[in-house]
Amino acid sequence: MHATAAPARPAAMLYRTTTDSPVGTLTLVASDAGLVAVLWPDDSPGRVRLAAAEERADHPVLATARAQLDEYFAGRRRDFDLPLAPVGSAFQRAVWAALTAIPHGETRSYGDIARAIGRPTASRAVGAANGRNPLSIVVPCHRVIGASGKLTGFAGGLAAKQQLLAHERR
């Protein structure tokens, strides 16, 4: 992934738009610094806390994100090339950065991610940070599964997680 992360501070102004996808209508949120969130149709309002956002489908970050998501779902894109501006703790941002290293079509366990960030006993904390990933699909938290290989919690629901993993195996 060739995405770049911005600092952890919230942006002054947020913009939003929606895009239809095979896993439901996604809400995209951006600042001038980059993509801030990709939210699910039934996302819990407390999972990703954001300030009010102005509807602005023509914002360059949102337009690019929408186009790249369309390419991803059409099978023409494996990696995203977007400026990213997620807001989170240093630990969360480390976990999210590790998620971007999981290759398209592959999975990793929470323990694998904990080891990748140098915190081998932090599997549960990794799970919590994974659940707070504001950039679903773009930062591929759907590629993280339980140590047994079983699908585990996912903000978009397990059916969407299974659909995304199946899409990437094609």
Tell me the pTM.
0.88
Say what the pLDDT of residue 5 is: 52
Say what the pLDDT of residue 11 is: 42
Say what the pLDDT of residue 12 is: 56
DSSP 98-118: HHTTSPTT--EEHHHHHHHTT
The catalytic site residues sit at: 141
List pLDDT tens digits, range 83-133.
999 999 999 999 999 999 999 999 999 999 999 999 999 999 999 999 999
What are the structure tokens assigned to 115, written together?
A: 């080891």
**Residue 107 is which amino acid?**
T
Residues of the chain under the 70 pLDDT cut: 1-12
Residue 159: CB partners within 8 Å, gap ≥ 6?
Answer: none
